[in-house]
Amino acid sequence: MEIVIISLLAGCLLGASNMITERWIGHLDKIVMIIVFILLIAVGIGIGSNQELITNLTILGWKALVIAALSTVGSIFALWFLVSKANFLQNHVTKEKQL
């Protein structure tokens, strides 16, 4: 799994260098999108070939929905709390209004 982290860091270095032009970034987005689809199909194959997983798919979906809802609500409350305490975020919004 180290290879994954290493390739992320190598990508960051390459991206931060001046070797990549704006035009290539456009192509890159498309390539990454294609790779994501290959990954999703592969993940699907892994799930589909696992009989136990398939029979439990509705239970998994229910768990996933609850975890997603709780983490989304948690992040909204945390950021709402931060915004109410940190005046730099409020200033930023007022400044925008004045402009």
Q: Which of residues 43-62 bind another protein (CB under 8 A)?
A: 43-54, 56-57, 60-61
Which stretch of DSSP H or E encloses residue 76? helix 57-85
Q: Of 55, 65, 94, 98, which one interacts with another protein (CB under 8 A)?
A: 65
- Is residue 82 within the footprint of another protein (CB under 8 A)? yes
**Cα-to-chain-centroid distance, residue 96:** 28
CA distance 25 to 17: 13
- Is residue 10 within the footprint of another protein (CB under 8 A)? yes
CA distance 46 to 40: 10
The answer to whether 89 touches 83, Cβ cutoff 8 Å, is yes
- Is residue 11 within the footprint of another protein (CB under 8 A)? yes
Number of residues interacting with another protein: please give it, by CB under 8 A: 74
- Is residue 79 within the footprint of another protein (CB under 8 A)? yes
- Is residue 13 within the footprint of another protein (CB under 8 A)? yes
